[in-house]
Amino acid sequence: MIESEAGRGVMINALSVDVEDYFQVSAFAAHIPRSKWDSLPCRIEQNVERVLALLADKNVHATFFTLGWVAERYPTLIRRIAQAGHELASHGFAHHRATEQVRGAFLADICLAKAVLEDVSGQEVVGYRAPSFSLGPENPWAVDCIAEAGYRYSSSIYPIRHDHYGAPGAPRFAHQPTPGVLELPVATVRLFESNLPAGGGGYFRLLPYAVSRWSIRRINRIDGQPALFYFHPWEIDPEQPRVEGAGAKTRFRHYVNLRRMQAKLRRLLDDFRWDRVDRVFLQRGG
């Protein structure tokens, strides 16, 4: 905990970045088919460079859950992430939600992403995050695929109620859904008998920073657990091209407070200690 900085009570939280471009987010999928991805102005390189600069400035290492699609097109960027001491992990190949795939296609996608990321980086990839936190009661076979593909952990569940994702009944903290794989859910705070989001997403941009700080402190002190936080490179890019045709709610969620994000992240990195997901969770004996 923060007040005993020098003591053994210092809690180290896990920081993660989902490496995908602004046009690859699931909420826009109905408006931007995958066949168009190659023709859109790509902002991933410049935005990941900004994330790398921010983390270097704060002397923080993080885990980058990266699409195989991105790794195939930007191998130099992937090597920059790995060489800076960050953990490279998988976000699948083409950002298909597990809920829209059958078992065989899901397994092929996560195997391909792992192979591409390992090929490009020369490092073993042990972590996986499903697009849009799409693991839940409807696809119990998915964790077996994750084990079969050779991953050691998954961070694919956000135990909240949300219209696009979320498994509100899932455990809030690290657990083993199948032998050999640890599931590491994104941070939530338990309040009024429900789980409230505390680990990133549009909520972090929408709510005052003090709410996020209070929530993470509470997870560290009351639950005695590290918090797992995530954000996207496009969230610190207010100049990104606007996607036409999406509904008002989708646009609001995607574009709200992009200009304030970088400053908020700086405060978050200052107020807590952070490290890569593998170092926070796999070395705790879990």
Neighbours of 73 (CB within 10 A): 15
CA distance 185 to 54: 25
User: Which of residues 94 and 196 has its CB atom nearest to Zn ion in the complex?
Assistant: 94
User: Which of residues 11 and 185 has its CB atom nearest to Zn ion in the complex?
Assistant: 185
Residue span 37-66 as binding mask against Zn ion, x where in contact by CB under 5 A, dash where not? ------------------------------
Phi-psi region of 150 (alpha: psi -120 to 50; beta: other; left: phi over 0): left
Inter-CA distances, 43 with 40, 79, 274, Å: 9, 17, 26
Binding of Zn ion at residue 21 (CB under 5 A)?
no
Least gap, CB of 224 to Zn ion (angstroms): 29
Which range in 16-24, 149-157, 162-170, 208-216 contacts Zn ion by CB under 5 A? 16-24
Least gap, CB of 59 to Zn ion (angstroms): 26
Least gap, CB of 133 to Zn ion (angstroms): 9
Inter-CA distances, 212 with 87, 187, 218, 242, 257, Å: 24, 10, 10, 27, 15
Binding of Zn ion at residue 87 (CB under 5 A)?
no
Least gap, CB of 20 to Zn ion (angstroms): 5
Residue span 114-133 as binding mask against Zn ion, x where in contact by CB under 5 A, dash where not? -----------------x--
Which range in 20-28, 35-43, 68-76, 262-270 contacts Zn ion by CB under 5 A? 20-28
User: Which of residues 201 and 226 has its CB atom nearest to Zn ion in the complex?
Assistant: 201
Query: Which amino acid appears at position 234 of this protein?
Result: W
Among candidate residues 132, 186, 196, the one with its CA nearest the CA of residue 16: 186
User: Which of residues 20 and 109 has its CB atom nearest to Zn ion in the complex?
Assistant: 20
Least gap, CB of 128 to Zn ion (angstroms): 12
Measured CA angle at 98 (ends 96, 100), to 5 deg: 70
Q: How remote is the C-alpha of 164 from its chain's centroid?
A: 15
User: Which of residues 131 and 226 has its CB atom nearest to Zn ion in the complex?
Assistant: 131
Binding of Zn ion at residue 18 (CB under 5 A)?
yes
- Say whether 189 sits in a helix, a strand or coil: strand
Q: Are 173 and 219 in contact (CB under 8 A)?
A: no
Bridge partners for 275 per DSSP:
14
Least gap, CB of 94 to Zn ion (angstroms): 11
Judged by CB under 5 A, the number of residues near Zn ion is: 3
Which range in 14-22, 68-76, 79-87, 155-163 contacts Zn ion by CB under 5 A? 14-22
Q: Are 157 and 132 in contact (CB under 8 A)?
A: no
Q: Which residues bind Zn ion (CB under 5 A)?
A: 18, 20, 131
